[in-house]
Amino acid sequence: MKKSLNFLFVVALFAMVFTLTGCGKDLSAYAGNYVGERSKFVGDAEWQAADEEPFSLELKDNGKGTFTRDGSSFDVTWELDGEKFTMKETFLALTNEYNGTLKDGKLHIYNGDASNDLTYEYELAKK
């Protein structure tokens, strides 16, 4: 009985360690530098070229990165589920959440509710 309990404990421990460390999605294919192409408020009809207000996003394969915009850099964490891209940006005690898609080296993200006219929308391309 004691051997069975020990065996079950080892199996459960192995499964927990594997879940926490080994079965995460390999993000290395998506890591890299993404350069801003254009941006706008959802409610605006016209896009603003990124050369007017440059922005970029560096994604690391450990799910972390740096979003640079408005002359400042912000630490981010990111995840990818299929083509669904999510990112959290932290600065001091504030957190901004971004949602969008990452497909074929193109990243399209919103910093809030995509149906709100005051939500900012970004398009970036992997370089």
In the structure, what pLDDT confidence band is assigned to residue 120 with cuts at 50, 70 and 90?
Answer: very high
Distance CA(108)–CA(83), nearest Å, equals 10
Q: Where are the domains of the chain?
A: 27-126
The pTM assigned to this predicted structure is 0.78
Q: How many percent of the chain have pLDDT more than 90?
A: 73
Distance CA(83)–CA(3), nearest Å, equals 45
pLDDT at 3: 54
Residue 65 burial class via C-beta count within 10 angstroms: exposed 0-12, middle 13-18, buried 19 and up = buried
CATH number of the domain located at residue range(s) 27-126 in this protein: 2.40.128.20
Question: 88-107: per-residue pLDDT in tens?
Answer: 999 888 999 999 999 999 99
Phi, psi of 42 (to 5 degrees): -55, -40
Q: Is the pLDDT of residue 26 over 50?
A: yes
In the predicted model, what is the mean pLDDT of residues 33-56?
Answer: 95
